[in-house]
Structure formats: C-alpha cells, structure tokens
Amino acid sequence: MKFEELNIHPILLKQVYAAGYKEPTLIQEKCIPLIKQGRDVVAQSETGSGKTVAFGLPVLEQIKPREGLQVLVLTPTRELCVQVSDVFRQFGRAMKVQTASIYGGVGITPQFDALQRCEIVVGTPGRILDHIQRGTIDFSRVRFLIVDEVDKMAEMGFMEQIEDIIIHVPKKRQTLLFSATLSDEVDILAERHSNSPIKIMTEAYVSKDKMRQVYYNVQPKEKFSLLVHLLKSKGPGLKLIFCATRIEVDIVTRNLKSQGIKVAAIHGGLTQSKRLIALNQLRDERIEALVATDVAARGLDIPHVRFIYNYDVPKTSGEYVHRIGRTARAGKSGEAITILTERDYENFDSVLRDHELNIEPQEMPKIIWVPFTRRIEGGRDERFGGRRFEGRGFSREGGRSFSREGPRTGREREFPPRERGSRVFSSRNDFSRAPSREGFENRMKESEAPGRAGYTGYSDRNRRRGKPRPRFGKRNFRN
C-alpha cells in the first residue's frame, strides 16, 4: 500500500516523502483510516514500528491553527516525549501547528510561554500534573487524548497520575491508546475512558529470521572481560548495552571508557541535557555503544542498532523482547547477546518460559582478562551503597577500609570486624589498629596530670616564663 491510498492531506503527504518514508507500516496502514473516521483506538505494536506517525498524521489533519490547545499526548519518559514532539514538529510545521514539550528535569518557566502558543502538548504525567496544579494549562478545547506506551506507564506506576489528568480533559474527545503489549492495565484504562474502541494488533516488527539470539554462561569475574572482547571483536555497528540499575550503568560505562571504547550512558539519574546528548551521539554514530537501563528500551527511535547486549538479564520475557526489539528491523540483521552469571539464573529461567524465543548457548571464547573496578565517581564504592570513604578510612563495622589515596591507587586492606565506635587509621603505605575509647580516656587523664604538658595541661615551665594560661578547654576528640 502507498501513503496516497490513505487519503492523507497533500501537505502532509509531501512532508512524509520528504522525510524518507516510502510505504506505511502495518500499524500505520490499520490505524490512520480509523483515526480519520473519529474512532477510538487501542493499538498494540512492537517498539519501532511507527506508532508515532500512525497517530500523528491523522491528528494533524484535524488541528485548527491558533485556536488553543487541542491535542494532549502522554508519554512515560522524557526521551520519548522529545521524540514524539519532534515528529509532530516535523510534520506540523507546514500545517502551521505548534507543539510544546512538557517534561521535568528542565526549567518550567519557558514552558509557560510555550503553553500559550501551542495546539499540541506532549508531556510526561508528573510535569503535566504540575501545570494543572499551577493553573497554567487549559484542557477545555482538547479534542484528542493520546496515551503512548501504556504498558510502560503501568510498569512505572503512572496509572494513578494518568487518571488524575484525564479528569481535567473534556469527555467529548477521541481517545487513542498505544502500547507495545496489551495488558490488564491497558484494558482497564480503555474500558474506563474510551468509547467503543477498536483493538488493533500487529505482528512483531523485528525480523526473527534475521535476529540471532545467543547467551554465554560465565563466571562473575569473566563477565566484564567477555563484554569487552565481544565489543571489540564483533565488528562495526551500533551497540546497546543494558544494565539493571543506574549505578551499574555508571560503573560499566566508566570501565569501558578505560578500555578505549567510545561509549555513553543514559538512565533516569542523569540530567535531561546529558541524556539527549548521549542519544544524539549514538544516532550520529559519534560513539559505538550506549549503556542504558530499560528506559531506552521503550519507544526511542534509535535506528541501525546491530547488537544488543544484556549485561544484566531482565526479569521477564516481555522486557527481554522490548530490549532486543531495538535491532533486526526493516529486514536488517541483528544479534542479541546475553551474558549470564549465576545470579541471573532465576531471571533467565523466567525469560525462557516464552517458548517463542530461541536463545542458543555459546562456548566461552578465549578472552584477555581486563581490570574491572566497582568504584564510581567521587571515590565512592558501589558495594557500600555509594557512600564515600574519606579521611582516614573510618570503618564502623569492620570489613574493608580505604586509605585517603584510595580513589587513585585502589589500595585496600582487609580488617577483622571490631567493636562499634572504633576507628582505623591508615596512611598510603601503612595500616595500624585503631586505639579504643579507653585508650583515648587514659591519654586525656595523663595530659591533665600535674606537671605534664599534654593537650589541656599547663606546665610549670610555662608558668615560670609568665605565659598566660590557655582559655580553651579540653581538646575535642571525634568519636
């Protein structure tokens, strides 16, 4: 089918071909006619199948410029908000329609002005609710409510916020719900806020015959070395590396950089500007790999990804599918590689319950061991919850103690657990047992003895020289 057969507005049709689109995808072919007819739609389609264009083109046809806010699009993440906004701006510019991106992590003042001029708002639930409470957003003329990645919204705990937002949107509207999977949460939202919706389900956009899925079962100490070996030996092509937590993303990124690999990190703990910079670097191929949490597995349009690395195994087969859905698109080949250690067995067993997945074991190649440290930025250690060890290597509960030079030298020694309140004093090359509280008290008593020039005493020699008695009291010892 051609885009002309969908009866798209001539101005939009010209923009579509200018953007490089040749034929509509399956989700676009099914959704566009229904949305043009004014029907409510609940659509399921894999990540990267063109859902944004599927609801963007028919909605833009019906927007009246300079008549206030008419479209509200809700997205789960900031990156997806920016991406959807870019699509609306790209196609809406010729229609003289303005789009505002409303999300957190950036200044709110510029958004006030944007809300006064736009016809379309694309935003995240938290910041939209913020504007509702401030009274800076007006939904009275909204005719289209679009919720993108509904299943991800539910997973991130946004469903209650979405309900609070929908209360302020006129009931006389067209509701469009898009999701990568159809879950109970999607059905509940559709039942409550849609009018006789039509369900649309499409086949996977990923080419399974061109997708190779393998896993390596390794020892924990071999995990990072294997990742470095695979990144350097698999050849050219963009790579996505998925980790379970933000801290793990930072640690893996820093260690990969130390091996001369051009990588960037993206997760929810970074500022919005850093996250956008990382995505742009990957799209422009200025870096060869992106280390990310699952925030990058949903909705983001990152074309030409050839390799997916599961450095940490996802908890469910659904999350696994969303991760590997970033590669093997539009007839291109791709490879999904899972690095499995003993702690991942339970999660991997959950993934393998999906019998449609064909993940083949691979023999461990010959690798060169490379150093890996779990220290994160600022001299903190991830094993201790990211707490920074400063000064003299104080250790309240025993275990490891780090010297002042630790972040640069990595020097560390094992100490047996000792009583609460004791300390460890260390220098760069020497470690000694800490004196106890009793030792401090004895030293203070000795310093106060007559004729002794201790910390707080006043010697006869000073008295004979006529020196005034010091006015300060006892020296404070930090315990």
Residue 12 has pLDDT above 60, yes or no: yes
Residue extents of the structural domains in the chain: 3-201, 208-361, 375-432
Question: H or E stretch including 115?
Answer: helix 109-117
CA–CA separation, 24 vs 56, rounded Å?
13
pLDDT of residue 403: 36
Q: Measured between alpha carbons, how far is residue 150 from residues 1, 36, 45, 247 in Å?
A: 28, 22, 12, 27
Proportion of the chain above pLDDT 70, given as a percent: 73
Domain 208-361 matching CATH 3.40.50.300: the answer reads: yes
The band of 466, judged by pLDDT with boundaries at 50, 70 and 90, is low
pLDDT of residue 324: 83
Q: What is the pLDDT of residues 251-291, one digit of tens each?
A: 999 999 999 999 999 887 787 778 778 888 887 888 989 99
pLDDT of residue 182: 80
Q: Regarding predicted confidence, which is higher, 232 or 459?
A: 232
Helix (H, G, I), strand (E, B) or coil at 45: coil
Q: Which CATH number fits domain 3-201: 3.40.50.300, 3.30.56.10, 2.30.42.10, 1.25.40.10?
A: 3.40.50.300
The band of 128, judged by pLDDT with boundaries at 50, 70 and 90, is very high
Same fold, 3-201 and 208-361: yes
Is the whole-model pTM more than 0.85? Answer: no
User: Which range, of 22-26, 65-69, 188-192, 256-260, averages the lowest pLDDT?
Assistant: 22-26
Q: Which residues of 343-376 are buried (b: 16+ CB within 10 A; e: fewer)?
A: ebeebbebbeeeeeeebeeeeeeeeeeeebeebb
Q: What is the pLDDT of residues 386-431, one digit of tens each?
A: 544 443 333 333 334 333 333 433 443 333 444 444 443 333 333 3
Q: What is the pLDDT of residues 279-338, one digit of tens each?
A: 888 878 889 899 988 865 565 667 678 899 999 999 988 888 878 877 755 446 789 999
pLDDT of residue 464: 60
Q: What's the chain's average pLDDT?
A: 80
